[in-house]
Amino acid sequence: MDKEFTKKLQEWLNTPADKRDLEQGAKYLLQLTNNLVLYKNLTRNLPAHAQFIEFRLKRYLQFRLQDLTHDEVATMQKQVTQIVQNRGLDKETPTPGTQTEAEQWRGGKRADHDSLPLEIQALYIENASLLQKMRELHLQLRALSTQQTTCPDSDRYPFLKEMIELDKSYHKNWLQYDSYVVAPGTEPANEETQAPSSEGVSELNGDSVNADRTPGAPSTEPEPTPAGESAAEQSLAPTSEGALANSDSTGADNTPAAPTDQVQDEAARLEQKNIQRKINLAKGRYKKTPTDALKESILSLYKQLTAPADSLTEELKQLGIL
C-alpha cells in the first residue's frame, strides 16, 4: 500500500471545502477506482459533485487507514518481541532488596555508584521502576492475546506503543548513567562528604585539614592562634634576638613554610591518587564492554596524571586506548 498516497488523501480531506482542488480530488478517485467513465462525468460539473467526491474519498481513506494501522501494529509487535528478549521480561523478577552487590553490578550498577551525583544515581533507580512497568505491560499483552482469539489491533496498539516508549527511556537512562564521567575533584553525593564548616576545619591538624575537602581545592584558612596572641607574634616567638634584628633590618621572611603549602601538596597527591582510582574503575569496565565514551574518559583521566606509571601506560597500549 502506498503510504504517501494515503497521506495526500488525508491532506486533501483536511483542506477546507471552499479551498479544495476538486479536479485533484476527482483524479484521486480515478486512481482509487480506475473508473474513467465516472471521472469524466464528475469533471463535467465538479462543484455539483463536490460532496460525492468527498464522501467516496473518506470511505477509501478509512479502509486504507485500517490497513495501515494493522501493518504498523505488526511492526510494533516485532519490536516489542525483541524488547522482551533483550530485557528478559519473561524471566522471574528479583525480589527488591535481595540482590547481592555482585548481582547489582552484573545488572549494570557502577562500582563508583555512590560517588556519582544524585541525579545520575537516580537514573539507576528509575530504570528499575521502568523495567517493572515493562514487565507488567508484557503480562497484560499476554493476557490480552489469551483471552481473545482474534485480538483487535486497536486493543493491542496502546500497550505496544507504551512498551516501546518505556524501552526508549530505559535505554536513554542507561546511556547517560554509563557514559557519565566523574570530574576530577568532584565530591561524593552523600551528605557525609560535604565540606566541613569553619569550626570543623579549625579542629583539624595540618595533616588532615584536607581529608573531607575536594582534592585540588585546599583550605586557605590560617592555623588557629591562642587567645591574646597574634599570628605575627607566634611566628616570631621561636627566633633569636639576632634573627629578629636581621628580619627587622632586611624585611626577609625567615619563618618556616606556611601550612597552606603543605596542604596544597597533600591535595595534589590525593587528586592524583583519585584520578588513578577512576582510571582503574573505567579500565575494568572497558575490558568488559569497550565503548568510545569510556575510551575518551580514560584518555582524559590519563592526561591528568603528572607521572603515569610505566605499567599503566603499557596496559592502556595493550587495550588499544593509547
| pLDDT one-digit tens code per residue, 163-200 | 999 999 999 999 999 999 887 766 555 444 433 333 33
How many angstroms separate the first and last alpha carbons of the chain? 53
Cα 132 from Cα 106, distance rounded (Å):
18
Letter for the amino acid at 97? G
Mean pLDDT (the chain, rounded): 74
**Residue 234: its pLDDT value, please?**
44
Say whether pLDDT at 68 is over 90: no
**Residue 51: its pLDDT value, please?**
94
Contact (CB, 8 A) for 163 and 138: yes
Contacts of 220 (CB under 8 A, 6+ apart): 260
- The angle that helices 118-147 and 50-87 make with each other, rounded to 10 degrees, is 110
Tell me which of 90 and 151 has the higher pLDDT: 90
Contact (CB, 8 A) for 116 and 189: yes
**Residue 99: its pLDDT value, please?**
57
Q: What's the predicted TM-score (pTM) here? A: 0.41
Pick from 16, 14, 47, 10: nearest CA to 28: 10
Cα 268 from Cα 274, distance rounded (Å):
10
